[in-house]
Each structure stands twice: as C-alpha cells, then as structure tokens.
Chains A and B, each alone.
Chain A
Amino acid sequence: MGRLGWEDVRSALDARPAARVSAEVGRRAAVALVLRDGPAGVELLFIRRADHPEDPWSGQMAFPGGRSEPGDADLLATAVRETAEEIGVDLAREGEYLGPLDEVRAMARLRPVDLAIAPFVFRLRGDVALNPNHEVRSAHWIPLDELVR
C-alpha cells in the first residue's frame, strides 16, 4: 500500500465533526498535532515531557499543549500559544491549521480528572527547526504510516 498523504489526513478530518467532552468537565486544555513533510512521508511530532515531581504526566510521551489561559481567544489559540512556548514554533506563521479531532477526557494517576483536552491538527510549512524549552525533554517525528494500519 502507498504512503499516507495529505489527502488522507484531510479525508479523515472531514469524515465527521469533532466530538466534544461533556460541558460538566470544567477545565479545558488543548494540544497541537503538528504534521510535516518528512523523510518518511507525513510525520507527526511527539514530545517527551520533562521530569517534574509536580507534573502528573511527568516524563510521559505527549503532544505540545497545555491548559487554557484567560488571554487565549479560544482553545485553538491555546494550542498555538503552548506550541510556541514548548517547542519554539509559531504555528500561526509557520503552519496551516487543518482541523480539530475529538476531545479526550484526561486521566492522571488512575482516575479521570476534571480536564478535557482538545486536539488540533496543523501542517508545518517547509523545514522548521524546533527549539524545545525546559518543559520538554525531547522531540520526535514519527511517520504517520507507523501509526495507521
């Protein structure tokens, strides 16, 4: 089978509207699924969070993102701001927004927590260097072909 391309990403995103987590979950966060044209086709950016004793997701694999703040116009803005902070990439300038995915209820240390995570998908234009901050231990590009079977 051929490599997955941008049309496949588009058709997966267009297949149906993104589901929202119930409004009873009060706190909101957003993450960015950053895609690029890489050596192995379309690739997705993962980060490993830095070790921090007060972070319930310390040291875990993740996507750039974080909690909504009062200055964010919406959750999409949260994802863009957090991505700029964590890996030094300005998605508003260097990326194209492709669409939302279903929200996920966060789990930490065993239970569902009062936090809904909204994922947003972006395509990076060209070859953009990453500049991870102290919250990020490492960054990894994984071919989409490895993640979809």
Chain B
Amino acid sequence: MTEELLNLYDAEGRVVGARPRREAKASGLAVGAVNALLADGRGRVLLQRRPPGKENGERWDKSVGGHVSAGEEFDGTLVREAGEELFDDPRSPRIHLAASEEEFASLRRGTDLAREVVLRRVAFQRNLRDVRRAPAGGVRNVLYHVAIYAGRTDVPIESFRPQRSEIVELAYFRAADVDRMLLEGRLAPNMAFLWLTQGHALLAAGEAPPRR
C-alpha cells in the first residue's frame, strides 16, 4: 500500500518538504494536523470511536481529525477530513468552514444544523509534541503543528455516514461523560490532551459566538 505524503514544516510553520506518513513522523520535523470538536444544541460533544487495529483503536476520539497532506493547507484538510469522516465524501456540501467569527455567527443562523455542520478555526499551536510508543519498544516524540476548530451541528447520529474504514461509531456525550471516559482510559491520548487543555472552551465556542 502506498503511504500518503504529508507536509513537513520547520519550527516556524513554513513548509519545507513532503514525506510518506511514517517517515514524516520519524523525521524530527513537524507534521501538520487538524483537530475539531463539534457540539450540539444541548452542549454535548460529538466523538468518534476508532476501529480496532487502527491507531488509537477502540478509543473515543475528537469529532474530526487528520493529517495535512502534501500540498494542502490546514483549512483544506479540515474540510476534506470532516466531509470524509462524517459523510464519507471529501467534498461534502454539508460542511461549512467560516473564515471569521462574524461569518460563523451568520452561518449558524442561516444553516440547517439538523443536516449540516458549521465550524471555524479557534487556535493554532506549533511544535506540540506527541509522545508515542515506538514500534521497536520505548517511546518517541512526534512533532505537530495543530490547527484547532470548534463548531456546531445538530445532525442526528443516524444521519451521519461515517467512513467505515476509520470510524466504528459516532455519538454525542455530555462533558461529565467525557471526564469519566478520560479517567477510565477510554479517550484517545490526543483527545485527552485536547479535552484537558481546551475542551470546555471549545464546547463554549460551539455554543455561542463570542461577545467582544
């Protein structure tokens, strides 16, 4: 199987090349990733359960996530991954990414959230390190630049068409449930970090546009 080519970045976030996935992660340079948390109108967060045998198998993970492919921009990756993972269509017309808070507020009002998803970028973190088990034993550090998105949807679970190769199940959870899943070791490690550092803020971001 040919491995997907990923962008490689320097510490300041400039693209300096592209390498196959595994080689990129072992390069010591940063790879790009997108993380999104979607909340419904009751303040619950949409999570996906990963298939056994995949990275983070059987764990519950963020609503949408993925790596920036060679030649892609972060926002393009987010739209592609959200379409693929939630509706099995990289160009799904149900995904709307707002370019600003103002556009997000207007999209939220003008979009049928029972059918569609609206998001915007809320943070960008450079040089996050992900400590992972190394294939040969021990641990290794993988470096990431991560664009973080928050959004809203009220799409009922049965109306999603999750990509079966990547997702076993989708479900909405209350914050207290996610806390319990963290303590029980049922969250993917990246999701645990996202939840600890930004989770509640992201849920709030999905719920109401910020006041200035």
Contacts and interface: CB of A to CB of B under 8 A. Distances in A.
A125 interface: no
A110 B125 CA distance: 15
A61 interface: yes
Interface string A33-74: 000000000000010100000000100111000000000000
A4 B139 contact: yes
Nearest to A48: B179
B1 interface: no
A16 B141 contact: yes
Contacts of B198: 107
B119 to A, nearest CB: 15
A122 B201 CA distance: 28
A127 interface: no
Nearest to A106: B197
B158 interface: no
Contact of B200 (A7, A15, A46, A60): A60
A147 B185 contact: yes
A5 to B, nearest CB: 9
Interface in B113-163: 122-123, 125, 127-129, 131-133, 137-141
A2 interface: yes
Given A57-B200, A62-B196, A110 B205 contact: yes
Given A108-B201, A148-B131, A149-B55, A11 B189 contact: no
Given A19-B127, A61-B182, A12 B141 contact: yes
Sorting the interface of chain B by its residue count into under 10, 10 to 19, 20 to 34 or 35 or more gives: 20 to 34
Contact of B183 (A2, A4, A15, A142): A142
A24 interface: no
B86 interface: no
B182 A149 contact: no
Interface in A130-149: 140, 142-143, 146-149
Interface residues of A, number: 32
A48 B140 CA distance: 29
B82 interface: no
B133 A148 contact: yes
Contacts of B210: 110-111
Contact of A149 (B133, B137, B138, B179): B133
B204 interface: yes
Interface in B6-59: 55-56, 59
Interface string A95-128: 0000000101101111110000000000000000
Contacts of B128: 102
Interface of A: 1-2, 4, 7-8, 11-12, 15-16, 19, 46, 48, 57, 60-62, 102, 104-105, 107-112, 140, 142-143, 146-149
Interface of B: 55-56, 59, 122-123, 125, 127-129, 131-133, 137-141, 179, 182-183, 185, 188-189, 192, 195-198, 200-201, 204-205, 210
